[in-house]
Amino acid sequence: MPNAGDLSGRFIVVGVSGGIAAYKAVEVCRLLVDAGAHVAPIMTPDAERFIGKTTLSALCSEPVHTSLWDDASPIPHTRLGQRADLIVVAPATARVIAAYAAGMSDDLLTATLIATVAPVVVCPAMHTEMWEHPAVRHNVATLRSRGVHIVEPEDGRLAGGDMGRGRLAAPETILAEARRVLAPTQSKLAARHVVVSAGGTREPIDAVRVITNRSSGKQGHAIANEAARRGAKVTLVTTADFLPVPGVSVVRVETAAEMKSAIDTAAASADVVIMTAAVADFRPVPIAEGKWKKHDGVPSVVLEPTPDILAGLGAAKRPGQVLVGFAAETSNLVDNAKSKLAHKNLDIVVANDVSQPKVGFGHDTNAVTIVTKLGTSAIPLADKRTVAAHVLDSVEASLHPTQEHP
């Protein structure tokens, strides 16, 4: 039973889409109302095939909304989107997830999702084969990269008696996520300047070809988004194209030299610098003019080292500034991380073994070991938003008392 009043005064929109799990939205709404929230329900036309409007209208704080065309409110999606402190979509079908990811507003629910700047919690529910389809996984990853909170489906009995992953998370789990997202920030990062780098740099060989690596930038963007949620002033220096959450200042770069210039400028005023980016260690020299042609034969590519951005930051680190490095390894994970921590004057090293399944480059998940001067802590395989939260917890623990707000 939730503690009454812990969501008091919060305006929460609950979107219900057309899946068999729609019946569980009744309990989600009841729990939110019991916790003190004002709950405004939206049902898609397909949702009405599974539960009746009267049920939700009776349990929620106002009648169910179903149409973009409402005589009482000519622009209901704008009204609901602007008033919302939080939007919860439970269940979220593959169609709604795809429409939200693509920015399509073909019903009241998707229009409201696009017309809000409030945090959004999406709770998928579908058959296992649908949940594991590459298109669905891609759409979920897209939403995550934009700061949408995903409550993963659970394993259990599905429609038709099948067993597998895809069952809507328990209503109590969804309530707990709503509480977490809306919890007042007490972060030590509030109003602090946090600089984050993300993505893999690209070093040109000629006018067409580049040397790069497999880094997608997902982990760096997840860290930047989480820092912004904790109230930090965030500068994100990135090579990736993901859209960050509102409030993150983005500097787009491509090469190691461009990243160094942007990082050095931002770091001068930063309280925390988190170097998540996979910066190239070498670059071609010279860069060929135009494009090399096959008929000219196999070219000779000469490499020179790029500047070590992290070592430079460590040498210039101000008293009290927290500096975090990342180490993508394939062996001797902790030993290499400890060596990097000492030699580059870092406060924290986040190390991962990118040879392991679903870890690191290109994945939506990661498993890391966080190394500090006081010890190590292992974070098992989890989504990158969860890993970001652990990294920033370590950053907050490393902040000097003089850096905290009075």
pLDDT tens for residues 251-278?
A: 999 999 999 999 999 999 999 999 999 9
Pairing verdict, β 282-284 and 303-305:
antiparallel
What six digits make up the tokens of 260?
């160094």
Q: Is the pLDDT of residue 3 over 60?
A: no
Active site residues: 213
Considering the four listed CATH numbers 3.30.720.210, 3.40.50.1950, 1.10.10.10, 3.40.50.720, the one that applies to the domain covering 11-182 is: 3.40.50.1950
- Matching residue, tokens 């009482």: 72
Q: Is the pLDDT of residue 121 over 50?
A: yes
Q: Which pLDDT belongs to residue 393?
A: 94
How remote is the C-alpha of 285 from its chain's centroid?
36
Is the CB of residue 403 less than 8 Å from the CB of residue 320? yes
Q: Which one-letter DSSP state was computed for residue 280? A: -
% of the chain beyond a pLDDT of 90:
65
- Matching residue, tokens 């003190």: 36
Sign of the dihedral defined by the CA atoms of residues 381, 386, 387, 391, in that order: negative
Confidence of residue 231 (pLDDT cuts 50, 70, 90): confident
> What is the rounded CA–CA span in Å between residue 46 and residue 51?
10
Task: Give the closest residue to 312 by CA, choosing from 357, 354, 365, 257.
Answer: 257
Q: Which pLDDT belongs to residue 4?
A: 41
Output the DSSP codes for 116-141: --S-EEEEE---HHHHTSHHHHHHHH
> What is the rounded CA–CA span in Å between residue 146 and residue 97?
13
> What is the rounded CA–CA span in Å between residue 367 and residue 384?
9
Is the CB of residue 303 less than 8 Å from the CB of residue 283? yes
> What is the rounded CA–CA span in Å between residue 207 and residue 292?
8
> What is the rounded CA–CA span in Å between residue 223 and residue 242?
13
Confidence of residue 294 (pLDDT cuts 50, 70, 90): confident
Considering the four listed CATH numbers 3.40.50.10300, 3.40.190.80, 3.30.1490.100, 2.40.50.140, the one that applies to the domain covering 193-403 is: 3.40.50.10300
Backbone phi and psi for residue 131, each to the nearest 5 degrees, phi listed first: -60, -35
Q: Where are the domains of the chain?
A: 11-182, 193-403
> What is the rounded CA–CA span in Å between residue 353 and residue 379?
12
Domains 11-182 and 193-403 share a fold: yes
Q: Is the pLDDT of residue 103 over 90?
A: yes
Flag the least confident range among 109-113, 150-154, 233-237, 332-336: 150-154
